Structure formats: structure tokens, C-alpha cells
Amino acid sequence: VSGDDEVGIVTKAFNLMVFSIKEYIEKITLSMEKEQKMMERELLMETHLKDAQLKYLQAQINPHFLFNSLNAGAQLAMMEDAEKTCLFIERMADFFRYNVRKMTEDATLEEEIETVDNYIYILNVRFAGDIHFIKEVDTSFHNVKIPSMILQPIVENAVNYGIRNIEWEGMIRMIVERADGGINIRITDNGRGMEPERIREVMEKKAAGTSMQTDSTGIGLDNVINRLELYYNTKGILSIHSEGIDQGTEVMLKIPLKQCRGMEEEEEQDV
């Protein structure tokens, strides 16, 4: 209808209304699809995080009972002037408390590094100080938010599959530094290294046995990769490099600057 009389005007208004309704329905549908995808991502993140936490608590011990018992042991050690024993028990309590407390929370980079420190300390008490750990950390990133229980499993992997039972002095190094577009976190060891096929299996989450050792906390690299991809909604956050057998391994985390919660405050302070 192209007339300018009353029928033409009403018809044009009706056609415009039909078009507007169709456009509105398309927008609503697109919005619902985006919301559904976001809900699915959040559910996947929650599932992977709960899986990690459940593996930490495989013994099904009441965590409050565990913490209270460890604290009682620390107090008893202090009363007996066993300062090293007291410190060891306190580190143990801090390590497990962190993993329970962070069940539904993000962590700061500082908290994640502190958990690695506790983990290395505990292992060195058990294995007579055989693990040499060096940190080079840009402390301006301490308040940056990242997924919890990310760094410790990577360090654990370096211990169990890198430097354990090697014939030379094992060394693990963690470097946290600013990079173009974000933060780089590098965890390297001078251990047994990895073949390209093994790296490919790990990156494709096909590697068996990465979290099944008796001495493992239970979180494998596949869990870490999954949670990083879900948290930052992109792939390629974690990468692995090795020159080959007995050449050591480097795990690199590239945290995008725009995704770094808590970093905005640091940038504002710098200005």
C-alpha cells in the first residue's frame, strides 16, 4: 500500500509495528541465547572448581575438625618448645584452610603465591629440603584476581614430573612480570623435560595419570586449563614448552590485562 489516505497511513503504521515486533523478538532471542551461554559457562566453572575441591578433601574429613586439630597440635608443639614442628603444622593448616575457604571465591595473586610457598615448605620438611624454589615477583600485581588453586597444581606438577628423582640438583623458579597486554607468570624447572607428544596430550587434556599419584593433591593440569579457559573465556592462557628429555619444562600463563580484576586500582595509583 502506497497511498497517503487514512488506509495508507494505517497500513504503513501497521507494517512498521510488525517490523518492530519482529526486530524486538530477534533481540530478545539473541539476549536469551547470550544469557544461556553465560549460565552454562558459570556452571562449568563451578563444576570444575568443585571437582578440584572435592579431590582435596577425598578423605571426607570435617574441615573444621581438621583445622582445630592442627591448631591444637601447633599449640602443643609450642608448649614443648618445638618451634619447627609448630611452624610446620601452622603451614599445613594454612594450606588446607585456603583451599576450603576459596571454594566459591576468586583469589588474589598474593594468596596464590603464598599457597605455593606453604606447599614448598611442607614438601621440604618431608623431603629434607631437597626442593629449591626461587621467586621473582612484581609485587604491584599482588591484588590482581585470578582463579583459585591455579599456581600450586602447576608447581606440584613440576615437582612430581620434573625434578623428583633426578640425579642433579632440582630447581623450580616462578617469575611474575608485566607483559604487553597483561601479566606473564612463568613456572620453570630444570628437570626431566617433556617430549612434544606428551605436551600435546596435556594441552588436549588427554594425559592420563597427572593427578592420580598418592603424593598428589588431586588437581591435574587438565582441570587448571579448563578453569582458566572458562574464567577468561578464551583459549591459550596456559602454554607448555620444553626442549626435550632432561632439558626442563616451562609453563607460561598469559593473563590478559583487560581481564585482570583488581588491576584497575593499581593502574589508577600509577597515574
Is 188 within 8 Å of 249 (Cβ atoms)?
Answer: yes
CA angle 230, 232, 238 (to 5 degrees): 85
Q: Which CATH class is domain 107-271?
A: alpha beta
Task: Give mean pLDDT, residues 154-170.
Answer: 90
In this structure, are strands 249-256 and 182-189 parallel, antiparallel, or unpaired? antiparallel
Tell me the pLDDT tens digit for each residue of 62-86: 566 667 777 778 888 888 888 888 8
Segment 19-29 mean pLDDT: 86
Torsion of Cα atoms, 119 then 120 then 122 then 126, to 10°: 140
Residues 176/183, Cβ–Cβ less than 8 Å: yes
Summarize pLDDT for 108-153 with one digit per residue, the tens.
999 999 999 998 988 888 777 778 999 999 989 889 999 888 999 9
Half-sphere exposure of 180 (CA within 13 A, CB side): 0
Q: Answer whether 0.75 is exceeded by the pTM.
A: no
